[in-house]
Structure 1
């Protein structure tokens, strides 16, 4: 992932906060066998200190790839929007001379995968996931000897993804003039399609912290 100086995370807390705000769905990517493409799996995850917690169905083809090479990439993407060319035209030039771009936030984790097959360990992993996704506790106990989870545990395998490196990108034209960034954020808010409003929020938040970009 190319990260320009003006796109980089301002500190670790920035991307950690972004993940904690509910960006808990991503794509697991593992090297495929020689001559074959990588194996990619979209999935929810929960964070646990320096790990990402995941579980997948036992028949998933990703397991063979992980067993062959446990070094994986996990990507979380969000707050994205297409920015039309006229919105980015320089002052004093025709709007059609503006070049379009994409805004987005992405966090990529380089991880080492640890497969969890022990029933008790899988139950604990599920309990941690449910504590994140259903904090009200509105679910049956996750116990290896009780339904419904007990009889379902053999059908899944758990994954603990040990984070080796995290790289974050916040692509919101931070190197452009303040007036330009403010204007685009206003247009995104007015258009209000798909993730326009969250993208505008990220641009304004970064603008408040970065101000005038200085290389």
Structure 2
């Protein structure tokens, strides 16, 4: 991923604060025997520091790839919008369109979890995050409504080794230009425009 200096996260706090509000992304692993990379969309829990936890069904084909090579990437993106060329130049024929987006890519080492109690702990952490209102009974290895289903899943703990974060919102442009684009995003109101506008204005405020 190309990251220009003006698109980079200002510091670790910026990408961490963004990532803790996101819990769905793509888990990518190297292909087996020269095959293409394997990519699995999945919910996950980030501990805010250096660990990601999730679980997947035992029949998922990614397990063979992880057993062959535990190096993986978790990629998360959001707050994206297409910016027409006509918004970026006074001349309709000269404006270059672009994409606004935020993304965090984490290179991790994967540890497969098969111990029942350890899997139950991952599920407790996930349910506490994704379903904090409760309604999920007792999550334990030997009791509760779900313990018989534990053999059907495998857990994953991902230790974060490297982080690449990008916030692409025309930060190289003058503040007046960015404010004009933000106003147009508010007027257009397509899905994603509000999030992109909020990120652009937030970044502008960090100047």
Q: TM-score range by the shorter chain?
A: over 0.9
Shift of 1:145: 2.2
Shift of 1:147: 3.9
**Could you say what secondary structure the match of 1:95 adopts?**
coil
Q: Which runs of 5+ in 1 are unaligned?
A: 211-215
Residue of structure 2 in register with 1:35 after alignment: 34
Shift of 1:131: 1.0
CA distance in 2, matches of 1:86, 1:113: 45
Residue of structure 2 in register with 1:161 after alignment: 158
Residue of structure 2 in register with 1:126 after alignment: 123
TM-score relative to the length of structure 1: 0.93
Residue of structure 2 in register with 1:74 after alignment: 74
CA distance in 2, matches of 1:160, 1:193: 36
CA distance in 2, matches of 1:165, 1:132: 24
Q: Tell me how large the CA RMSD over aligned residues is.
A: 1.0
Residue of structure 2 in register with 1:184 after alignment: 181
One of 145, 148, 167 as aligned partner of 2:145: 148
CA distance in 1, matches of 2:25, 2:67: 21
Size of the aligned set, in residue pairs, is 206
Residue of structure 2 in register with 1:213 after alignment: none
Shift of 1:96: 2.7
Which 4+ runs in 1 deviate beyond 3 A? Answer: none
TM-score relative to the length of structure 2: 0.97
> How far does the alpha carbon of each residue in 1:10-66 deviate from its partner, in whole angstroms, 9 at most, with x for none?
010001111122x11000000002331000000010012411001000000000000
> How far does the alpha carbon of each residue in 1:95-151 deviate from its partner, in whole angstroms, 9 at most, with x for none?
231000000000000000000000000000100111111122232110122242101
Q: Which runs of 5+ in 2 are unaligned?
A: none
CA distance in 1, matches of 2:133, 2:91: 55
Residue of structure 2 in register with 1:10 after alignment: 10
CA distance in 2, matches of 1:208, 1:188: 17
Residue of structure 2 in register with 1:95 after alignment: 92
